[in-house]
Amino acid sequence: MKDDSHGASIARRFAFSAVFWLIVGLIVGLWLAAEMFHPALNLTPWLAFGRLRVVHTNGLIFGFTLAGVFACSYYILEKLTRTPLAFPRLAKAHLYLFNAAIVLAALSLFAGLNTSKEYSELEWPLDIGVVVLWVMFAANVFGTLIRRREKQMYVSLWFLIATVVTVAAVYILNNLEVPVNLFKSYSIYAGVNDANVQWWFGHNAVASVFTFPILAMFYYFLPKSTGLSIYSHRLSIIAFWSLVFGYLWTGAHHLMLTPVPEWIQTVALAFSLFLIAPSWASVINGYYTMNGNWEQMRTNYLAKFFLLGITFYGLQTLQGPTQALRTLTSFFHYTEWVVGHVHMGTMGWVTMIVSASLYYIVTKTSGREIYSVRLANVHFWLILVGQLLFTVTLWIGGIMQGAMLKATNPDGSLAYSFLDVVAAFYPFWMIRFAGGVLYFAGIVVFAYNLVKTAAPRPMAASRNPLFRKGGIG
Amino acid sequence: MNLYERPVLFAIASVVVISVGTLVTTFIPLFMPSTQPVSRYIKPYTAIELEGRDIYIREGCNNCHTQTVRPLRTEVARYGEYSKPEEFAYDRPFLWGSRRTGPDLARVGGKYPDAWHYRHTVDPQGMFAKSNMPAYRWLAEKKLSTDYTAKKVAVLGYGYGPEEVARQIDAFRLQVADPNFPAANQRALVTPGPVRGEITELDTLVAYLQKLGRDVKELEKRSLERK
Ligand code: HEM
Ligand code: HEM
């Protein structure tokens, strides 16, 4: 049956916005990846690597991931509170303004209007827009929570609240700047302080966009789509508070061995190691939930996305802390190894969980079965293999890069010039591109499947048994 | 009283929990002078260098280049003396970067003559076939806009006024347009006729690159003399 609540229809539209921005961001990403081994592609100022990279990161973090987060949040909010959205008209305005803001953001970044601070590049007028949009979102979150009919707030709602609060704090504080004119401003912090604030933001942008809300989805949609309940409520309480507490201490692990005061680096390192525990609490909670029901990996097309997703989250939260260790950071910092880390998180964990959640939302809200389970499986395998080819290549390449940069001759002089290292990397950049193409193909299949699911279709098609398999538990 | 039944209280609790790490690792250091010390040997940017720095930001050079040398043996051998906090006192924003697709630039000032940069920035592949740096032809073709230069210097509080800014701009224009400018031949090769008598964006970018790491060499020389 079609779900006609306001939350459901807004959720469905945000879901399609997310898919749209995903495809745009990936086309930009592929172009960027090709520029690495074919620099002639830097055809115009706005296609030059330095500007395009920013369009890629912002497009995928804010366009794709945040739209996915909004879709799931509006949906989850209504279901878990058993209450309609508090301000449905505001939510609709949020949808339109959000998409308009992403268009303006992309155009301004193409034009080279940027503050240079990673993931916070937008110039000040757009920053104000972002804050307004966030307030609109928060109003619905808290408005609906306050009016709710369900007494207890489930763990997904805790992560949602943490997302709302953390994004607001880190975004505003990192973007305090003095305008010169409409298109240019300077940070209020200088030098070392600017660096320290920026990476406190940077790491918590990862926490509050790529972790908290994705965990909210995981804790809601895994039980929903498998028909099992989460293994341990107590474990999720411990995981939640220690994760939210620990994340804010670790920003300086992005600044190891730089002029940032050493004690800040050491504290960041210690808390990075600490984060393994709460991160793995969620991984374990997920695995134990499946206890005795692992056959769903085969029979339920959504279960694999969630379980592979949480597995990559587990790997990511082991790799991350080790990267902060001084010996390893001295080797891997600034190399392609870190780009491998980033993309296991984004193409593995984030994409797996978001895609499955969007399948769930679109099928439920349009009241239809998925158009094709077989295509969903093709989607799964393409993004999995594409991601692995991408990340494993960059890890091997990153080790080579680190080793070449550190290699010395017997007399202590450097064995390789910087250009030798660049030249040696061309084959890796090409394989990474191939991995990106596979992943992109998977996403195109995903988009097609989702559009077909939502579109009205003749009865004959939905009677086809192929489309009926693998319903949701 | 159950926290999990009270959303507003829950939000307040979350704010408290995220504030602890924030206060200790970012807020308190803002007020400790030792985080960002100042040295009299490190000078603010001139108006021209500042404009060059803004071009660097606009083009996102920081997405491929870092500006911090770490205290590691091979890194010091490759780039030069490791970075000190004093060097960044006038950097708003900081430009340390997070990826080295290209080499670190913290010590590039004075490493090559101006002519080298005029040639390299416009056509890196012409110099090194395997370089993947973009060819920034358009920077040599565009006259620098100085409409906001004085305002920028004022916002950053670099300690000199609009007259000084105007003087620096005029002096720099005469310098680069002069046929005796050391890089005059290379500059003429990459700069189209109509803008040759003007300050181009590339001119200021080169001036900025030549400033990187130069003051600190002075600082190090002085501290060696004292020993
Ligand atoms: C316990 C959890 C984690 C820890 C301790 C951690 C640690 C780190 C460290 C130390 C770096 C810096 C590497 C370097 O530049 O040398 C890094 C980079 C990064 N990590 Fe993680 N990581 C964790 C989880 C994640 C997750 C789940 C994601 C999700 C996608 C993620 C995304 C990123 C991104 C985007 C960067 C690149 C930042 C940049 O330099 O632009 N991390 N991480
Ligand atoms: C077809 C798939 C993709 C391709 C080909 C691709 C390509 C790239 C390239 C070439 C870079 C620059 C790396 C460098 O400077 O060395 C990059 C960086 C980045 N990408 Fe992607 N990307 C893809 C998918 C994604 C997705 C799905 C996300 C997020 C949801 C994402 C987020 C990022 C981020 C955050 C960075 C910055 C990493 C850092 O600062 O270390 N990418 N990507």
> What's the gap in Å between A387 CA and the centre of ligand 2?
11
SS3 A291: coil
The CA distances from residue A368 to A271, A372, A451, A465, A471, in Å, are: 46, 11, 12, 14, 10
For chain B, the first-to-last Cα distance in angstroms comes to: 66
> Hey, whose CA ends up nearest to atom 41 of ligand 2?
A339
Q: Counting ligands in written order, which one lies closest to the CA of residue A209?
A: 1
pTM: 0.96
Mean pLDDT of chain A, nearest integer: 95
| Tens-digit pLDDT profile for residues A143-185 | 999 999 999 999 999 999 999 999 999 999 999 999 999 999 9
- As a three-state string, the secondary structure of A35-86 is HHHCHHHCCCHHHCHHHHHHHHHHHHHHHHHHHHHHHHHHHHHHHHHCCCCC
DSSP codes joined into one string, A178-225: EEEETTEEEESS-HHHHHHHHHHHHHHHHHHHHTHHHHHHHHHHHHHH
Average pLDDT, integer, range A65-90: 96
Indicate which atom in ligand 2 lies nearest the CA of residue A440: 1
Chain B: residue whose CA lies nearest to A246: B21
> What's the gap in Å between B161 CA and the centre of ligand 1?
43
Q: What DSSP state is assigned to residue A414?
A: B
> What's the gap in Å between B72 CA and the centre of ligand 1?
22
Q: Select the residue of A50, A193, A249 nearest B30 (Cβ to Cβ).
A: A193
SS3 A12: helix
Question: For residue A467, is pLDDT > 70?
Answer: no
Question: For residue A465, is pLDDT > 50?
Answer: no
pLDDT at res. B227: 61
Confidence of residue A316 (pLDDT cuts 50, 70, 90): very high
For domain B39-226, is the CATH number 1.10.760.10? yes
**Which of B23, B25, B45, B55 has the highest number of chain A CBs within 10 A, making it the mutation to test binding with A?**
B25
- Ligand 2 binding pocket includes A348 (Cβ within 6 Å): no
pLDDT at res. B216: 81
Phi then psi for residue B98, to 5 deg, are -135, -5
pLDDT at res. A472: 40
Q: Do B155 and A114 touch (CB under 8 A)?
A: no
B45 contacts in chain A (CB < 8 Å)? none
Indicate which atom in ligand 1 lies nearest the CA of residue B99: 40
- Ligand 2 binding pocket includes A435 (Cβ within 6 Å): no
> Hey, whose CA ends up nearest to atom 43 of ligand 1?
A320
Listed by start position, the domains of chain B span: 3-34, 39-226
Query: Residues A158, B3: contact at Cβ < 8 Å?
Result: no
Question: For residue A95, is pLDDT > 80?
Answer: yes
DSSP codes joined into one string, A352-402: HHHHHHHHHHHHHHHT---S-HHHHHHHHHHHHHHHHHHHHHHHHHHHHHH
Low-confidence residues in chain B, pLDDT < 50: none
Q: How far apart are CA A138 and CA A471, in angstroms?
A: 33
Average pLDDT, integer, range A82-108: 97
pLDDT at res. B1: 61
> Hey, whose CA ends up nearest to atom 35 of ligand 1?
A342
Q: Do A251 and B26 touch (CB under 8 A)?
A: yes
pLDDT at res. B225: 72
> Hey, whose CA ends up nearest to atom 32 of ligand 2?
A57
**HSE of B133 in the Cβ direction (CA atoms, 13 Å)?**
27
Question: For residue A460, is pLDDT > 80?
Answer: no
- Ligand 1 binding pocket includes A253 (Cβ within 6 Å): yes
Q: How far apart are CA A277 and CA A433, in angstroms?
A: 34
Nearest CA of chain A to the CA of B184: how many Å? 25
Average pLDDT, integer, range A41-49: 97
> What's the gap in Å between A343 CA and the centre of ligand 1?
10
For helices A6-37 and A88-110, the axis angle rounded to 10 degrees is 10
Q: Counting ligands in written order, which one lies closest to the CA of residue A252?
A: 1
Q: How far apart are CA A324 and CA A332, in angstroms?
A: 10
Of A13, A19, A9, nearest to A445 (Cα)?
A19
For A6-463, which CATH class?
Answer: mainly alpha
Q: What DSSP state is assigned to residue B41?
A: T
Nearest CA of chain A to the CA of B110: how many Å? 18
The answer to whether the bond into B93 is cis (omega within 30° of 0) is yes
B21 contacts in chain A (CB < 8 Å)? 245-250, 271
Confidence of residue A5 (pLDDT cuts 50, 70, 90): confident
ipTM of the complex: 0.95
